[in-house]
Chain A
Amino acid sequence: LSAGDWLKEGLLQPMDTGQRGSALVSGKWREHIGGEWRSVLLASILGGAILVQLVWIGGHSGPLLVAKVWVNRRLDAISRSADAAYGYDYMQWINFLRRTIPEEATVFVVPTPESPQYTLSAFLEYFLMPRHVSHCPASNLRDCIAQVAGPGTCFLYTDGSGMALDGHHGLRGVVFDDRLGVLVPEQGLGQ
């Protein structure tokens, strides 16, 4: 079979056994695309579409396979999650929290609409489990601490405001950078 015959008889032949083209296609063009030309055209479109999609997937997956999967292959699942979700700095922040906050602690955080990955309790719980993470009952850290501070509570801050509260209510500030940090009880939790 020639390539044209194959496309007509071997590839798309069953379609041609029915009507000669769509009701929406008429005239001279219909004669051309009713047979071999239609087969060639449709096979080309389908093949081209598959190729374009594969190129997209390759472009999407390749960098991830190298930069996230291969490079992070020795990291634990939580660290890989953090890096894949929000990058290296976020992974460092999460690992800092996991090192600093005892597992039996309850963590409070003031939710903010911007950068929810730093302040949304359900999202942070995944990374900090088995530590419970809750939203502060107050809209600022100072009031939050005043309301819920206790021997088993820690407080995250994401705007640098926490350092001013170092020493308040028996809390000790542990700094991650000039913006991020955590206030942990000086006593009452295993260090």
Chain B
Amino acid sequence: VSAVLHSAIVDILILGGFFALGSLILSAVRGVGDPIFRAGLAVPVGGGVLTWCLFLLSWARVPLTAAAILTSYAVLTLLFSVLAWRSGNAETVMPLGKDSRDEPLLARLIASLCEGIAIVLVAVAFVLSVGLSYYSWDAIAQWAVGGYGIALEGSILGLLEWGHAGLYYPPNVQLLISVFRTLEGDILPGSKAMFPLFYAGLLMVCYRFWRARGLRRVIASAATLLLAGVPILFLHGTMGYTNLLMTLYLVSGVICGIDGVENGAVGSTSAAGILLGLAGWSRPEGYILALVCLAALGSAALSSRRSLRTLIPAVIPVVIGFTVWLAFSLLVTRSHPQPYVEPVTDLKLAIQGLTIGDVRWRAFLTIARYFAGQVLRFRDWGLYIAIVGVLLVVNVRSLIARGDVARTTLIVASFGLGLAAVGGDYICAYSPHGPDYLYTCLSMDFNRVFMPAGICLGLLAFIGFAPRQVRVKALAPSTMVSAVRNEARGGPARGAPAR
């Protein structure tokens, strides 16, 4: 019992350490002023930045011992404390939306009930996640064993010896797990407590976005509970896969980017860049999806006649992350035989096929049929896709708003991320395993790769309920913020078109 208690205390300290570091980073870039948003993102940001630095240290042949981890943490904390102290307050404060005290008592009660149930779901996910330990295939054969292997060998090259993924996957999650293993043996396992926190973070970020867009508290709470009850999201909050973490990074990156582009706020776009860069640091397809998100933000900036220069701070972390990972892949990964190269082989075959005009049209039909089946099949997306589809149709006019940064970004991001998910599985049609392998790929991958697109679609569908203060066209940033805040207080949006 004492060993478990000791382990639990160390786990709390580790997670608290991630939280503190993440908060300092978000303060240092002056990107995220909202406490709910910051609370949802602090652990994934703090953990992600720490593991990236540990990766660089390990590449430089520094053994990843407990002393090295703690020293790295101390240096990063000191660095970002100084930066946060120098930067002052957050550059932008997300508008609060309409004060819920104006809503009828019944509405407030329902909102509180929805929020309470969502908190219960997170608590259940937490108990299941830690209580069951690692139990799903990839969580065991790739992430946990990889993390434990890094801890055992004291190097990221431990991934060549331990686990299925090798160095083909960016080792964010493996390094996070290795921190727990190195510092306390991962007895509970405390590393499993991270995944419900990612699930909670995603819910908090989405809730805050909807509230900031002016949704009434009761609708934002109900929408969050609908999202919390999506089977695949809840399961990923307990399973230990990397897809939920990447989805959280991508979705919150898009939201910060929207805030930055709308307000011309460099702090928010810097935060978006860090989050999108960390998405690439979590899965191989992450950099492609981060580029899709940047393209969506860029198209929104152009359509609203805002300067693309605002997005430069968002691009820099993604480019740095990608360049470092590419250099590592060329210098280190290629010189070691990888245990798991199937997707790379499929991609090479697909590129070869497409360059000679071998387009597998039948594969698109298979993917379309599979996707249609997901709307009917409850096990993965519940009723979420059906509800979101209905809302998109009902709110179609209010959603197509030229010059609106949030709507344009979410439309392009949903489409682009969905297309990337389709493309990722389409390459399986060229697999040496034969055309039937496509269906195997779809059943294994599609739903989890589709998660970022699905969440962005949901964000979009529900802001159709929002007041249209965000339709303000090409206002100066200061005017925009004052218009939004004024409307949030219940008054007319100064400078905004009349309803």
Contacts and interface: CB of A to CB of B under 8 A. Distances in A.
Interface of A: 1, 3, 6, 10-12, 14-15, 17-19, 21-25, 38, 42, 45-47, 49-50, 52-54, 56-57, 60-61, 64-65, 68-69, 72-73, 76-78, 80-81, 84-85, 120, 122-123, 125-126, 129-130, 132
A60 B231 contact: yes
Given A53-B383, A129-B145, A77 B226 contact: no
Nearest to A53: B229
A49 B383 contact: yes
A126 B104 contact: no
Interface stretch (B215-223, B255-263, B274-282): B215-223
B383 A52 contact: yes
B222 A46 contact: yes
Interface string B209-250: 000001110110011011001110011000000000000000
A80 to B, nearest CB: 4
Interface in B194-218: 214-216, 218
Nearest to B185: A77
Secondary structure call for the A interface: helix
B395 interface: yes
A50 B137 contact: no
Contacts of A122: 141-142, 145, 162-164, 339
Contacts of B162: 122, 125, 129
Given A6-B106, A57-B121, A125-B162, A77 B398 contact: no
Contacts of B467: 14, 17
Interface in B368-420: 378, 382-384, 386-387, 390-391, 393-398
A56 B132 contact: no
A125 B231 contact: no
Contacts of B141: 120, 122-123, 126
Contacts of B135: 80-81, 84-85
Contacts of B186: 77
B133 A129 contact: no
B133 A84 contact: yes
Interface residues of B, number: 68
Given A24-B396, A126-B140, A81 B134 contact: yes
Contacts of B39: none
B394 A22 contact: yes
B128 A22 contact: no
B231 A56 contact: yes
A81 B132 CA distance: 6
Contacts of A72: 131
B398 A68 contact: no
Contacts of A15: 394-395, 398, 464-465
Given A60-B235, A132-B161, 11 more contacts: A10-B103, A14-B214, A46-B223, A50-B225, A50-B226, A53-B383, A53-B384, A123-B164, A126-B144, A126-B148, A129-B145
